[in-house]
Amino acid sequence: MALGLSALYAAVSLRRHALLRTTGFDLGIFEQEVRSYASGHWPTSTLKGPGFPLLGDHFSPVTAVLAPAYRLFPGPGTLLVAQALLLGIAVVPLVRWAHRVAGTGAALVVGLGFGLSWGIAQAVVFDFHEVAFAVPLLAFSLSALGAGRLRGAIAWAAPLVLVKEDLGLTLAVIGLLVAWRGERRLGLVAALGGAAATLIEMAVVIPAISPAGTDTYAGRLGLEAVWRLPTLLTNGTKLATLVMVLLPTGLLAARSSLVWVAAPTLAWRLLSDYPPYWGTAYHYSAVLMPVVFAALVDVLARGAATRAARRWGLALGATATVVCLLAPPPGLSSGLLDVARPGFWSTPEHVVLGREILDRIPAGVTVAASNSLVPQLTARDDVSLLGATPLTVSHADYVVADTTTAQQFPVGGAELRRLALDALHLGYRVLVDQDGYLLLAAPGR
């Protein structure tokens, strides 16, 4: 099951990249990060700004483990395949645990339910992110915790502090659960260590490295978050997210104490002043899926529900997964099913032309590119984001943009075209203006 799901994830993400559907924010940023490590340097990204130190953005040194693979196979595909393997391997402990306590049928529902869940699917179709490392760590940790292997639970959860700064709080909750289940000293040490790691990373490490001298993401969760607590019951988007998190398990996950491991992630997301955190889009819910499915297996293992309730819950969870795949609610993508759509494997003429234009840009130059074209260039060029870094700062040798998409970060459509053509005032000349693509070269190029 792990190999099959990994192959599915890899096929979807690699094909999306071939169709120019990946983006600089965030695949391009992470490739620049891993490329820095592979070159023996501290991670920087010109997409975030000239020489921007990425450990001052998010504290995610775990991505350095991809450096050896990137040296052998440089390119965004290495990151996408690595993510596919990380997400796929997470089903192993969950399926083995479910099979041991509830039989083959439950194991299949848990494995496929997790592997095809909307939270995992959203991560697969939105580039690469460091949280892919957290997914198997949580799956192994919570499976060990549920099976009574408390020291193993802490051992698997401890590396979370190197994945992302907020995950120290997730380790803290796991530590408290370990303490509650018997290993009091070890659990309390882990809880204090996890909380301290998050505090140090967000209050000391990130501000010390960030050019802004502060953790910009922490600013979205100030004291005002207290006044946003009532919105958890009144905001439709937040309520829908809470329901959607539990729905793949037929709501049975709510009967397990393991579900509290999801609390820190849900708290910073739903109490933030940044609306994209509230919903079900993007990769933010990937770390919640191993939590709720581990909670489901815990319910099955402890017999915390009647046999009828367990059957109803598993049936509801399986139905919810199928519905999200075949007819996803607004805000969700059914991208995993693209592999069965013939059109997904045909290449539109617009994409063919785009690749021909990108091939005209030499390797080893500086390029200002629109978001959708950035990850096609980050393996061989020094790329900045058109619309984020002015050309007077980046001094790019080439400017390339696809203006056919109106909704593109930070600008798209006609505004992006105007921005690219502003380079003419700096002496750039137009090499290509065709089918929405623009390619300009700096003087002397």
Average pLDDT over residues 301-325: 78
Question: Roughly how many angstroms between the first and final C-alpha of the chain, as a whole number?
Answer: 51
Q: Where are the alpha helices (DSSP H) in 247-306?
A: 263-270, 288-302
| Chain centroid offset of residue 279 CA | 14
What's the confidence (pLDDT) of residue 40? 95
- Structure tokens that stand for 115 in this block: 């592997």
In a domain, 423, yes or no: yes
Domain match, 335 and 353 both:
no
Q: State the chain's maximal CA–CA distance in angstroms.
A: 76
For residue 303 the two structure tokens come to: 């017999």
**Residue at 35 is within a domain:** yes
- 258 and 356 share a domain? no
Check whether 312 has a pLDDT greater than 90: no
The number of residues making up the chain comes to 445
Q: Taking residues 45-73, report their average pLDDT.
A: 96
Residues 420, 302: one domain? no
pTM of structure = 0.94
Q: Do 263 and 164 fall into the same domain?
A: yes
The DSSP string of 309-370 is HHHHHHHHHHHHHHHHHHSPPTT---GGGGGG-GGGGS--HHHHHHHHHHTTSPTTSEEEE-
Strand, coil or helix: what is 134? helix
> What is the count of structural domains for the chain?
2
Give the pLDDT confidence score for residue 322 in this predicted structure. Answer: 82
Instruction: Evaluate whether 225 touches 269 at the Cβ level (below 8 Å).
Output: no
Helix (H) or strand (E) holding 7: helix 2-18
Query: Could you read off the pLDDT of 193-231 as tens digits, one per residue?
Result: 999 999 999 999 999 999 999 988 887 777 677 788 888
**What are the residues whose beta carbons fall under 8 Å from the beta carbon of 305, sequence distance 6 or more?**
252, 255, 299, 313
Average pLDDT, the chain: 93
Q: Are residues 49 and 127 in the same domain?
A: yes
Q: Does 154 map to a domain? A: yes
pLDDT at position 290 is: 98
pLDDT band at 143 (very low <50, low <70, confident <90, very high): very high
Question: For a pLDDT cut of 90, what percent of the chain falls above it?
Answer: 81
**Same structural domain for residues 371 and 293?**
no
CB 299 within 8 Å of CB 314: no
Q: Indicate if 371 and 319 belong to the same structural domain.
A: no
pLDDT at 303: 79
Is the pLDDT confidence value at 407 over 90?
no
| pLDDT for res 288 | 98
Confidence of residue 250 (pLDDT cuts 50, 70, 90): confident
Element (H, E) at 139: helix 134-146
> Within a 13 Å sphere around the CA of 144, how many CA atoms are in the beta-carbon half?
19
Domain end residue (candidates: 290, 318, 339): 339
Dist CA 79 CA 10 (whole Å): 10
Model confidence over 410-428: pLDDT tens digits? 999 999 999 999 999 999 9
Q: Give dist(CA 357, CA 237) in Å, integer.
A: 41
CA 280, distance to chain mean position in Å, is 12
Three-state DSSP at 375 gives helix
Q: Which domain holds residue 270?
A: 2-339
Cα separation, 38 vs 59, whole angstroms = 18
The two beta strands, 382-385 and 366-369, are parallel
For residues 297 and 367, membership in a common domain is answered with no
**pLDDT in the model for residue 385:** 97
Residue 231 lies in a domain: yes
The pLDDT score that the predictor gives to residue 304 is 66
Is residue 245 in a domain?
yes
pLDDT digits (tens, 9 = 90+) for 118-130: 999 999 999 999 9
Least confident of 59-63, 218-222, 252-256: 218-222
Residues 104 and 174 in one domain: yes
- Alpha-carbon separation of residue 430 from 22, 87, 167, 414, 434 (angstroms): 25, 43, 47, 17, 11
Check if the beta carbon of residue 301 is closer than 8 Å to that of residue 89: no
Taken in order 69, 47, 163, 337, the sign of the CA dihedral is negative
Looking at 306, 339, 372, the residue that finishes a domain is: 339
| Side-by-side strand order, sheet with 382-385 | 382-385, 366-369, 398-402, 437-441, 429-434
Residue 344, domain member (yes or no): no
- If asked whether residues 29 and 7 sit together in one domain, one would say yes
Task: Give the separation between CA 322 and CA 248, rounded to whole angstroms.
Answer: 10
Which of 289, 321, 339 is the endpoint of a domain? Answer: 339
Mean pLDDT of 76-95: 98
* 354-402 residue pLDDT tens: 999 999 999 999 999 999 999 999 999 999 999 999 999 999 999 999 9
Q: What is the mean pLDDT of residues 256-277?
A: 94
Q: What pLDDT, on the 0 to 100 scale, is given for residue 305?
A: 67
Asked if residue 53 belongs to a domain, the reply is yes
Let me know whether 103 and 222 are in one domain.
Answer: yes
Examine the domain organization and report whether 333 and 358 are in the same domain: no
